[in-house]
Amino acid sequence: MPKITYIEHNGTQHTLEVAEGISLMQGAISNMVPGIEGDCGGLCACATCHVYIPSDWQSKCSEAEELENSILDFAYDVTNNSRLACQIEVTAELDGLIVHLPSRQY
Partner 1 sequence: MSFIEPEASNIIRDLPEALLIINAQGELIYVNRAVETLTGFSETELIGNHVSMLMPPSAHRRLDVLTWLTRWADNPDPSQLRYLNLDGVNKNGTERRYRVRVSSFKSEQSARFLVIIRDVTEEEEASRRLQHARLVSDRILAIGDQGILTINESQTIEYWNKRAEQIFGYREEEILGQNISMLIPEGLSTKHQQQVQQFVDNNIASRLMGERGEIKGVHKDGHIIPLEASITKTQIEDRILLSAQVKDITARKQAEKNLHDSELRFRALFENAFEGMALLSVDGLVIEINKAARELLANDSVFENKYFWDLNWWPSGTPEDIEISKAQLKENIVNVFDRDLVRLRVELSHHTGSRDIDFSLIPVIDEDNKPLYILAEGRDLTALDKS
- Name the 3-class secondary structure at 14: strand
Q: Which is nearer to partner 1, 3 or 106 (CB)?
A: 106
Q: Hey, which residues between 8 and 47 contact partner 1 (CB under 8 A)? A: 19, 22, 30, 32, 34, 37, 39-40, 43, 45-47
Residue 47 C-beta: closest distance to partner 1, Å: 7
Among 78, 91, 98, 100, binds partner 1 (CB under 8 A): 78
Q: Which residues of 74-105 are buried (b: 16+ CB within 10 A; e: fewer)?
A: ebeebeeebbbbbbbebeeebeebebbbbeeb
